[in-house]
Every structure is written in C-alpha cells, then in structure tokens.
Amino acid sequence: MKFRIILYCLLGGLGMSIVALGAGNFAWWYSAGVVMTASFVPVAMFGPRKFTGQFAVILPVLLVVACLCTWSEALLFVATPEMKQHAMRDLYSECFTYTIISAILAALASLLRLPRAADYSLKLRPPAALGMMVFAAGLVYVLFYLVFGGITYQFFTRQYYPDAVTKVAPLGLWFWAIELGRGVMMALAVLPVICTLRMSRMNSAIAVGLLIWVTGGLALLIPPNPFMGSAQRFIHTIEILTQNFPLGFAATLLMRPKPSAADRAHEHFVSADSLGRRPALQGHD
C-alpha cells in the first residue's frame, strides 16, 4: 500500500506539470503537483470508491479553492494591467487544467486500487443544519483572515503591497462580504469531501484543513512567479495556513457532529467484526 501511495503522488504530480509547458520551471511545477496530490491521499484511500465519485469530490476543491478563490484574491491585490486584461482567459485556462488534473487523480486512485473498504458510517447534520454550518465556517474564515491577515500585513507584507489599503478602502464593508463569500465557497467546495471521507471526525478535520491549505496556498506558491519573490511566497504560505486550515478544520467539526457513546461502540463492534475479531459482549451470564 505504501508503494502505491508513493506512486499515486509521483504520477499525480505530472498533472501540474502541464502548466510548465507555457510557464517553464518544470521541476518546480512537478514538485507542486506532488505536494498537491499528497493532500488528496486521504480522499483516494477513504473517499468514494469509484472513479466518478473521486472525480466529483476532487473537482470542486480544485475549481473553487485552487482556482476561483486564489484568482479572485490575486485580481484584488496584485493585479497588473496585463493580468486584468486577460483575467477571464486565465480563469478559463486554469479551470480546464484543473479539470484534467481532477480526472488524472481520480483515475490513478482507481487504477492503483487505493480506496479501502472501510466500514465507517458517517454521521452528518440534517441538510438545513448543514447550510447553517457552511455559513458558520465562512465566518470562521473571516475571523482568522481578519486577525492573521492583519498581523501579516502590518509586520511582513506591507512593503510588498503599499497600496493595498487604498485598493480595499473603496469597497468598505463589501470587502468583508467578499471574504465571507470566499469562505463560504471554500466550505461548500470541501463539503463533498466531508460527506464522503470515511475517517474519524478529528482525523477528517485535520485532513480537510490540510487539503484547503495545500490546494489554496502551499502547492501554488512553490513555483516561482513574476509577482512574488521567494521570501514573499514563504510569508503567504504561512499566512494562508493560519486562514485556510482553521476553515477546513472548523467546517468538518461543524458539519459532522460529535459521535455519541453508542455510535463509538457500534463503530468499534463493526470494525472488530470486519477483521474477524467480534468483541465479547459485556454483562452476560
């Protein structure tokens, strides 16, 4: 299994190398692809068992978190005249690339037989409550964005974005509405992952938090780009960790309620039975 996981990451990394055909830096983009693929290992192993399910879970994460949300943030803060001129073209191109990457990762999970037949019954909140939890997760993102984004700007990135306040000021409260919308969209993007990940509540929360951080920050900041130096990219990597990881972690805990003692006992019974080790019943004569 370990060999297949390593092979999944190494082969999956080739998907991101598509970008290198036009941007160069093949080794950097391939490394970014390997890191991004590694963040999907829990999905490949404990997510949907079929190609269509894997594709349906991976695609929203890449289209929304890795593509749309990062594109909109860049358009707001670091957009050059050339970037604005070709903004929609770049968005369509990225969407096409991420669709191909999603298909590659889904196909690799099936070909390498990574999905595990784990009998783990997921407990989710009712649909109406899920909607409220998605909004609550968006508020969590805004809170961490306000705190850690402010700290990062004041002490580290002000020199790189001296006119950031001038750009944001005309938006007023709409700026925070936009950030709330980004948080809600990212929470919705990982909702299929949360609803299908056959792992414990806490392990799922960690996996989803890392997934949003890697796809929305770490992997994309590995390759050099003309807008950010290495120090700037490193600072943003840590900043995005403090914002995206809490979003995924909180979203999972909010959408998957804490299991009761009866639920934990049932999961232990099913797990032991699936291994041929049915536990002895307590309290019998």
- Per-residue pLDDT tens digits for 92-125: 988 999 999 999 999 999 999 999 866 666 778 8
Q: Which helix (H) or strand (E) holds 161?
A: none
> Cβ contacts of residue 271 below 8 Å, gap of 6+?
119, 120
The CA distance from 255 to 189, in Å, is 13
The CA distance from 8 to 112, in Å, is 7
> What pTM was estimated for this model as a whole?
0.86
Span 150-195, pLDDT tens digits: 999 889 888 888 887 887 888 888 889 999 999 999 999 999 999 9
**DSSP summary character for residue 115:** -
Q: Which two tokens stand for residue 55?
A: 């594709």
With contact defined as beta carbons under 8 Å apart, do 245 and 237 qualify?
no
Dihedral pair phi/psi, residue 86, rounded to 5° = -110, 25
Return the amino acid letter for 143: L
The CA distance from 273 to 129, in Å, is 33
Give pLDDT, residue 157: 86
**Which regions in the chain score pLDDT beneath 50?**
266, 269-285
The CA distance from 126 to 226, in Å, is 46
Dihedral pair phi/psi, residue 228, rounded to 5° = -140, 135
Give pLDDT, residue 100: 95
Give the chain's radius of gyration (CA, Å).
21
Q: By three-state DSSP, how is residue 259 classified?
A: coil
Give pLDDT, residue 119: 61
Q: Which helix (H) or strand (E) holds 5?
A: helix 2-16
